[in-house]
Chain A
């Protein structure tokens, strides 16, 4: 049984920016342990000489002609924003200190 501790889950949840209750952390630790057990076999299924595949279709550096074309208007882009002001997204303070 892969052990993934509650404090590890807490750390991962912090990295993933998700607040979790104590109950959630406990439940998640158990379930993730079981899933990791089941998927750990991949490490023994492969050898060093097998190249990794990140993508099913080998397309690289797809570009388009560098010409101006219509995009979203500022009003459209802001229409779904939780808060906006003066044509910009309004967000909570980003730094811990008072500005």
Chain B
């Protein structure tokens, strides 16, 4: 493997798109460049970035050649046709393994594509493979993947965030210009924050959940991840929209996210009302995180935004409510992994082994610690005698959180906060302290409880040299506001920095085993 890096892997999706349309490059060249990059930095699992669980080199190149041939014939193709993409391993892919980061689904090849994946194929994107994640999307570090953690390209000893750490790290390590994530409590936004990339959790119901293996059905949302706000918008436009295969899909037009990103790129926020959330700052937030956040807010003011501070008092209970609602829904959703119809089956020794014994042995072997913890917690919260105090109360908190947001969005267009209270911590640091890990989700969780859209974009580097994320939140079905504000902040910050933040990510040298 040559040590020189093919320049194509540093190009953003929008630049690749223009070059592909102009036939300056072919999709085959672009795809090969990314496959080479993956081969150079992603493995081995013990020391590489390990953003991918499965690389589909052959099918990717075949698809790229198809797109090139279509383009040569003069076919009208989508804006992102021929651009490579990584897909979080929580979305089903026909003919391509889907494990959800779990032993339970090792070797499983789904018989159908998720709607999001079908949309990617229809738009001509080239699927490079499946990205690593915490098991069944439960975790904030990817350490809960049964196949080993992903490493943060900024520092291989640190977490890439989670659960979608693979999708974020693949972007920051230039293994893919675009990836798909899923966000139940921050699994798109927190990895984006700690890797210096962009990620959006769309409005609940804005992107189909069909084929997204369910963790918590009332909170899960698939969404786009990229290195720039415009790229994220281009991908958002491909995957969003009503899907009759998902009964919770919103039957409405998708906001013009690409137009909003282009509008925001001027850097002007005149007339935009921005609310700084009192409860999502201060105590518990690292000084370096607070400093970058405060600067970003000042920048929005310079850009013409009216900035006010707003209190959403019930957000202080959001984390607690979430860690009751999520395990409750998860314990129910994960009941389907019983070793009967697909996935792992473990049969204990002995005669007359019953189905129930097989289920218990299969689930003992197939689920990791974090999955088991949440299943047991959910089973407890839903049991008779505790239901009202725990699950019932948590659902009421959810109402109060929604009311707080409704009140706030009566006064401002968007809300902002740091995405996460800390920068990337060390792998292993919080592995045996689930509560400490959960606390990192404090700023992202409220959006999932309320079903509103949220974005994380790079706000700069903290004193430790690691990326800090700025979170922008908007009302349901106003995803376009995230892109307008995000693009304006991005334009001003990159002008200040003299280039994108990711230009400063060190060249990957690998972890020491």
Contacts and interface: CB of A to CB of B under 8 A. Distances in A.
Interface in B341-375: 341-345, 347, 352-361, 363-364, 367, 372-373, 375
Contacts of A87: none
Interface of A: 4, 8-9, 12-13, 15-20, 24, 28, 31-32, 34-36, 38-43, 45-46, 50-57, 59, 62, 64, 72, 76-77, 79-83, 89, 91-96, 98
A64 B222 CA distance: 23
Nearest to A48: B396
Nearest to B386: A36
Contact of B392 (A52, A62, A83): A52
B377 interface: yes
B247 A18 contact: no
B408 interface: no
6 contacts: A12-B380, A38-B320, A38-B435, A41-B317, A43-B393, A56-B449
Between A43, A83, A92, the greatest number of chain B beta carbons within 10 A of the residue's beta carbon is seen for A92
Nearest to B375: A16
B150 interface: no
Interface in B32-84: none
Q: Which 7 A-B pairs have the closest CB atoms?
A: A56-B451, A82-B345, A80-B342, A52-B395, A46-B396, A19-B364, A76-B111
B320 A41 contact: yes
Between A42, A57, A98, the greatest number of chain B beta carbons within 10 A of the residue's beta carbon is seen for A42
Nearest to B327: A35
Interface string B386-418: 000110111111111010000000000000000
B355 A42 contact: no
Contact of A34 (B367, B380, B390, B435): B435
B483 interface: no
Contacts, number: 178
Contacts of B331: 16
A19 B314 contact: no
B294 interface: no
B6 to A, nearest CB: 37
A77 B109 CA distance: 11
Nearest to A45: B317
A85 B361 CA distance: 23
B307 to A, nearest CB: 27
A80 B344 CA distance: 9
Interface of B: 108-112, 204-205, 218, 244, 247-248, 250, 314, 317, 320-321, 323-324, 331, 335, 338-345, 347, 352-361, 363-364, 367, 372-373, 375-377, 379-380, 383, 389-390, 392-400, 402, 434-435, 438, 449-452, 476
How would you classify the secondary structure of chain B's contact residues: helix, strand, loop or mixed?
helix
B218 A38 contact: no
A8 to B, nearest CB: 8
A39 B111 contact: no
Contacts of B108: 80
B22 to A, nearest CB: 40
A74 B320 CA distance: 44
Contact of A45 (B109, B110, B400, B476): B400
Contacts of A94: 354-355
Contacts of B450: 56
A42 B395 CA distance: 9
B399 A35 contact: no
B390 A43 contact: yes
Contacts of B352: 93, 96, 98
Contact of B364 (A18, A28, A77): A18
Contacts of A13: 376
Contacts of A64: 244
B215 to A, nearest CB: 15
Given A39-B323, A46-B393, A59-B248, A16 B399 contact: no
B468 to A, nearest CB: 26
Contacts of A34: 434-435
Given A39-B323, A46-B397, A57 B205 contact: yes
Contact of B395 (A35, A40, A53): A53
Nearest to A21: B364
B360 A32 contact: no
Contacts of A76: 111-112
A41 B353 CA distance: 43
B340 A89 contact: yes
Given A42-B317, A50-B399, A92-B354, A32 B380 contact: yes
A76 B397 CA distance: 43
A83 B358 CA distance: 13
A91 B340 contact: yes
A77 B380 CA distance: 33
A45 B355 contact: no
B372 A28 contact: yes
Contacts of B375: 16, 18
Contact of B402 (A15, A56, A91): A56
Given A57-B250, A64-B244, A18 B367 contact: yes
Contacts of B321: 39, 42
B176 to A, nearest CB: 27
B355 A52 contact: no
Contact of A43 (B110, B389, B451): B389
B376 A39 contact: no
B204 A53 contact: no
B434 A35 contact: yes
Given A17-B335, A20-B364, A80-B341, 15 more contacts: A4-B380, A18-B375, A31-B373, A38-B320, A40-B390, A42-B321, A50-B396, A52-B398, A56-B451, A57-B476, A80-B111, A82-B342, A92-B357, A93-B355, A96-B354
